C-alpha cells in the first residue's frame, strides 16, 4: 500500500451508460480515472442492473487507485429512479432479495391503471407520471405485486447510492436527493414521505434519513484488505448524480438566480428562483430536492439519446465533423427534426419523432445539434429561468451546439463548465463539507451568428405546439 500522506478522495460515479472511478487530490483535481460500460442484465424475470459485474469492477478499480495514493474518503453518485430491496440479515454478499430493476423496463406498464389510482397528486410530490419505471414508486408497486413472497422478505429499501455505501460499510441510510427525484415517494408539500409510501405499507423499510455529506464511517473490516484501504478511510452517504452537478453552483452562487444544464444520457435543467407553480407535469417538469434540502425546479429530456437517434436516422455518425456552414444550411433549407426520439420522455414524449424536409443533403449531426439546442431553449422558457446558464457534461464536447443555445438566449449569459468531472467534483465536496471553498471553473460560450435562427425556432415551435 502507498505511504502517501496526502489526502485523496475516491468518487464512484454510476451512470446509466457508464460507470466511472475518479481519484481526486486535496484540491479536487482528478489524478486517476477509469470507466466501464454499464450493461443491463437481460436474464432473469426482468431486465436488471448487473450488480455482480459492477462490484467486481469496483473492487479491481478501488485496489488500483489505493495502490497509487492513500484514499481517505469515498463518495458515491448514481443515476436516479433506482433502489435496492435487501434483507439485512442475508448471508448473500449483495443482500438483494430481488435483482435491481432497470428503470427502462416497459413491462411494468401493465399495472399502469392500478398504480395511477394510488399515485399522489402532482401538487404533493411535483413528480410527473413518467414512462416505464422512471417513477420509482411504480417499480415498488410492480415488484410487490408480482413477487409478493420475495417482497415480504425485504427489510430495507435503499436508494441506489446508499446501496453501494451499505455494501462498503454495512450502514443503512436514506438520502433526500435520490428520494426526492420523481419517485412519487416524497411529498415536497409536506416535507415527508408521500401517501404512496403508506399505501404500499413500506415506510418502515426506509432507513434513517441523513444528509448526503453524512460520514458513515469505516469500510467493513473484511473488505479493507481486499480493497487495499486503511482504517481511516471513511465512506459518505452519497448523492443523485444531477444533484451532484448542481451542488457546486448552489454552494458558490448561493441566492443568485441560475440554471445548471446537466447533459449526458439525460439533459436536465435545474433552475433556482423558479416558482414550483410554473411546473407542468405533462411536459416532464418536476421538482428535485438538492443536497441542502431545497426544492429545485427542473425540466428534462433524454438529450444524449435523442442526439444519437437524430444522427443515426439522418445518416450521420457521432464523430462526423461539421461547422457553422452546416448549421446554416439546415436553417436555410428549413429542415426540422421534430420530437420525440427518446421513446416517451421529455416535454413531447407522446409524439413520434420525424423529419420535415429531406435530410439526405444536410449534415445529420448539425441537425441533431440544432434540435437539442431548441429543446433546451424551449425548456428554459417553460421554466421562466433567470440569470446565468451553465452547461455541464457531454454537450461540452459539442461547442457549436452550445453556441446555438447562446444565440437563442441572447438575454442571458451562457457559460461552459471547464470541469469535465462536474458530477464527480460535486460528489467529492460531500467528503469535505464546509472545508473546501467552492468555485466554478467556467468559460463563456462561443458566439455564433446564424441568419434567421429566431425565425427557424418559431417555425419549429409551430410544428410541435
Express each pLDDT in 325-364 by its tens digit: 999 999 999 999 999 999 888 999 999 999 999 999 899 9
Q: Is the pLDDT of residue 1 over 70?
A: no
Residues 420-426 have a mean pLDDT of 81
- Rounded CA-CA distance 204/294 in Å is 25
Residues 218 and 253 in one domain: no
Q: How many Cβ atoms from other residues are within 10 Å of residue 109's Cβ?
A: 15
Of 344, 348, 443, the closest CA to residue 391 belongs to 443
Question: 58 and 34 in contact (C-beta within 8 Å)?
Answer: no
Residues 77-106 have a mean pLDDT of 96
Residues 80 and 211 in one domain: yes
Q: Look at residue 46 and tell me if it is in a domain.
A: yes
Residues 175 and 261 in one domain: no
Q: What is the domain extent for residue 34? A: 8-237
Q: Which three cell numbers stand for residue 438?
A: 467552492
Q: Look at residue 405 and tell me if it is in a domain.
A: yes
- Rounded CA-CA distance 245/260 in Å is 8
Q: Which three cell numbers stand for residue 217?
A: 464511517
Question: 260 and 243 in contact (C-beta within 8 Å)?
Answer: no
Q: How many Cβ atoms from other residues are within 10 Å of residue 206's Cβ?
A: 19
- The residue out of 202, 217, 237 marking a domain boundary is 237
Question: 76 and 165 in contact (C-beta within 8 Å)?
Answer: yes
Which tops the pLDDT comparison, 76 or 112? 76
CATH of the domain at 422: 3.30.420.40
Q: Is the pLDDT of residue 2 over 70?
A: no
Residues 151 and 78 in one domain: yes
74 HSE (CA, 13 A, CB side)? 34
Q: Is the pLDDT of residue 3 over 80?
A: no
Burial class of 268 by CB neighbour count within 10 A (0 to 12, 13 to 18, 19+) = buried
Q: Look at residue 3 and tell me if it is in a domain.
A: no
pLDDT tens, position by position, 12-55: 999 998 999 999 998 888 999 999 999 999 999 999 999 999 99
Question: 307 and 355 in contact (C-beta within 8 Å)?
Answer: no
Question: 262 and 99 in contact (C-beta within 8 Å)?
Answer: no
Residues 271 and 313 in one domain: yes
Of 279, 236, 242, the closest CA to residue 260 belongs to 242
Q: Which of the four pLDDT bands, split at 50, 70 and 90, describes residue 119?
A: very high
Q: Look at residue 166 and tell me if it is in a domain.
A: yes
Q: What is the mean pLDDT of the chain?
A: 94
Query: How high is the pLDDT of residue 290?
Result: 95
Query: How high is the pLDDT of residue 412?
Result: 96
Residues 256 and 139 in one domain: no
41 HSE (CA, 13 A, CB side)? 14
Q: In sequence order, which residues have a C-beta less than 8 Å from that of residue 211 and are 6 or more positions away?
A: 175, 176, 237, 291
Residues 174 and 29 in one domain: yes
Residues 447 and 318 in one domain: yes
Residues 62 and 178 in one domain: yes
Residues 225 and 272 in one domain: no
- Rounded CA-CA distance 415/146 in Å is 47
pLDDT tens, position by position, 159-176: 999 999 999 999 999 999
- The residue out of 189, 217, 237 marking a domain boundary is 237
Highest mean pLDDT among 18-32, 360-374, 427-441: 360-374
Strand partners, 301: 267
Of 200, 86, 190, 88, the closest CA to residue 135 belongs to 200
Q: Look at residue 2 and tell me if it is in a domain.
A: no
Q: Which of the four pLDDT bands, split at 50, 70 and 90, describes residue 179?
A: very high
Q: Look at residue 79 and tell me if it is in a domain.
A: yes
> How many domains is the chain partitioned into structurally?
2
Which tops the pLDDT comparison, 407 or 29? 407
% of the chain with per-residue pLDDT over 90: 85
Residues 230 and 253 in one domain: no
Question: 161 and 177 in contact (C-beta within 8 Å)?
Answer: no
Residues 277-291 have a mean pLDDT of 93
Beta strands 71-78 and 234-236, pairing class? parallel
- Rounded CA-CA distance 353/357 in Å is 13
Which tops the pLDDT comparison, 109 or 400? 400
% of the chain with per-residue pLDDT over 70: 98
Q: Is the pLDDT of residue 310 over 90?
A: yes
Q: In sequence order, which residues have a C-beta less than 8 Å from that of residue 106 and are 6 or more positions away?
A: 131, 132
Query: How high is the pLDDT of residue 159?
Result: 98
- The residue out of 190, 207, 237 marking a domain boundary is 237
- Rounded CA-CA distance 458/465 in Å is 10
Q: Is the pLDDT of residue 134 over 80?
A: yes
Q: Look at residue 1 and tell me if it is in a domain.
A: no
Q: Over the chain, what HEC string results? A: CCCCCCCEEEEEEECCCEEEEEEECCCCCEEEEEEEECCCECCCCCCECCHHHHHHHHHHHHHHHHCCCCEEEEEEEECCCCEEEECCCCCCCCCECCCCECCCCHHHHHHHHHHHHHCCCHHHHCCCCCCCCCCHHHHHHHHHHHCHHHHCCCCEEEEHHHHHHHHHHCCCCECHHHHCCCCCCEECCCCEECHHHHHCCCHHHCCCECCCCCEEEECCHHHHHHHCCCCCCEEECCEEHHHHHHHHHHHHHCCCCEEEEEECCCEEEEECCCCHHHCCHHHCEEEEECCCCCEEEEEEECHHHHHHHHHHHCCCCCCCCCCHHHHHHHHHCCCEEECCCCCCCCCCCCCCCEEECCCCCCCHHHHHHHHHHHHHHHHHHHHCCCCEEEEEEHHHHCHHHHHHHHHHCCCCCEEEECCCCHHHHHHHHHHHCCCCCCCCCEEECCCCCCCCHHHHHHHHHHHHC
- Rounded CA-CA distance 277/332 in Å is 38
Q: Which of 68-72, 97-101, 270-274, 436-440 has the lowest mean pLDDT?
A: 436-440
Query: How high is the pLDDT of residue 261?
Result: 94
Q: Look at residue 259 and tell me if it is in a domain.
A: yes
- Rounded CA-CA distance 104/47 in Å is 9
- Rounded CA-CA distance 197/174 in Å is 14
Residues 81 and 111 in one domain: yes
Q: Which of the four pLDDT bands, split at 50, 70 and 90, describes residue 4?
A: low
Amino acid at each position: 500500500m502507498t505511504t502517501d500522506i496526502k489526502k485523496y478522495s475516491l468518487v464512484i460515479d454510476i451512470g446509466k451508460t457508464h460507470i466511472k472511478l475518479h481519484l481526486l487530490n486535496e484540491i479536487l483535481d482528478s489524478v486517476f480515472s477509469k470507466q466501464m460500460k454499464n450493461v443491463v442484465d437481460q436474464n432473469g424475470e426482468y431486465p436488471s442492473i448487473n450488480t455482480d459485474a459492477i462490484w467486481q469492477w469496483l473492487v479491481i478499480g478501488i485496489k488500483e487507485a489505493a495502490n497509487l495514493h492513500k484514499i481517505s474518503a469515498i463518495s458515491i453518485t448514481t443515476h436516479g429512479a433506482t433502489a435496492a430491496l435487501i434483507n439485512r440479515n442475508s448471508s448473500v454478499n449483495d443482500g438483494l432479495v430481488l435483482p435491481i430493476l432497470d428503470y427502462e423496463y416497459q413491462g411494468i406498464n401493465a399495472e399502469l391503471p392500478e398504480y395511477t389510482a394510488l399515485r399522489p397528486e402532482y401538487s404533493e410530490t411535483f413528480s410527473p407520471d413518467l414512462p416505464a419505471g422512471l417513477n420509482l414508486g411504480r417499480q415498488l408497486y410492480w415488484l410487490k405485486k408480482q413477487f409478493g413472497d420475495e417482497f415480504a422478505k425485504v427489510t430495507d429499501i435503499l436508494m441506489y447510492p446508499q446501496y453501494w455505501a451499505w455494501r462498503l460499510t454495512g450502514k443503512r441510510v436514506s438520502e433526500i436527493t435520490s428520494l426526492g427525484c420523481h419517485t412519487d415517494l416524497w411529498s415536497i408539500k409536506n416535507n415527508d414521505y408521500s401517501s404512496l409510501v403508506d399505501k404500499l405499507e413500506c415506510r418502515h423499510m426506509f432507513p434513517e434519513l441523513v444528509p448526503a455529506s453524512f460520514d458513515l464511517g469505516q469500510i467493513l473490516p473484511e473488505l479493507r484488505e481486499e480493497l487495499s484501504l486503511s482504517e481511516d478511510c471513511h465512506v459518505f452517504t452519497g448523492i443523485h448524480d444531477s444533484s451532484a452537478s448542481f451542488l457546486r453552483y448552489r454552494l458558490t452562487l448561493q441566492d443568485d438566480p441560475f440554471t445548471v444544464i446537466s447533459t449526458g444520457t439525460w439533459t436536465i435543467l435545474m433552475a433556482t428562483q423558479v416558482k414550483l407553480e410554473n411546473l407542468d407535469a405533462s411536459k416532464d417538469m418536476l421538482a428535485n430536492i438538492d443536497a441542502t434540502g431545497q426544492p429545485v425546479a427542473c425540466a428534462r429530456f433524454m438529450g444524449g439519446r435523442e442526439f444519437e437517434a437524430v444522427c443515426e436516422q439522418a445518416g450521420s455518425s457521432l464523430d462526423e465533423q461539421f461547422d457553422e456552414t452546416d448549421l446554416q444550411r439546415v436553417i436555410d433549407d428549413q429542415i426540422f427534426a421534430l420530437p420525440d426520439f427518446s421513446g416517451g420522455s421529455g416535454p413531447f414524449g407522446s409524439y413520434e419523432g420525424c423529419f420535415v424536409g429531406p435530410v439526405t443533403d444536410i449534415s445529420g449531426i448539425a441537425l441533431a445539434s440544432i434540435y437539442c439546442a431548441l429543446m433546451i431553449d424551449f425548456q428554459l422558457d417553460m421554466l421562466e429561468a433567470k440569470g446565468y446558464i451553465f452547461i455541464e457534461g457531454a454537450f461540452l464536447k459539442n461547442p457549436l451546439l452550445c453556441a446555438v443555445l447562446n444565440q437563442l438566449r441572447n438575454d442571458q449569459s451562457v457559460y461552459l463548465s471547464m470541469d469535465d468531472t462536474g458530477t464527480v467534483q460535486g460528489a467529492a465536496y460531500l467528503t469535505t463539507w464546509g472545508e473546501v471553498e467552492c468555485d466554478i471553473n467556467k468559460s463563456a460560450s462561443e458566439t455564433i451568428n446564424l441568419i434567421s435562427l429566431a425565425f427557424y425556432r418559431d417555425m419549429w415551435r409551430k410544428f410541435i405546439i
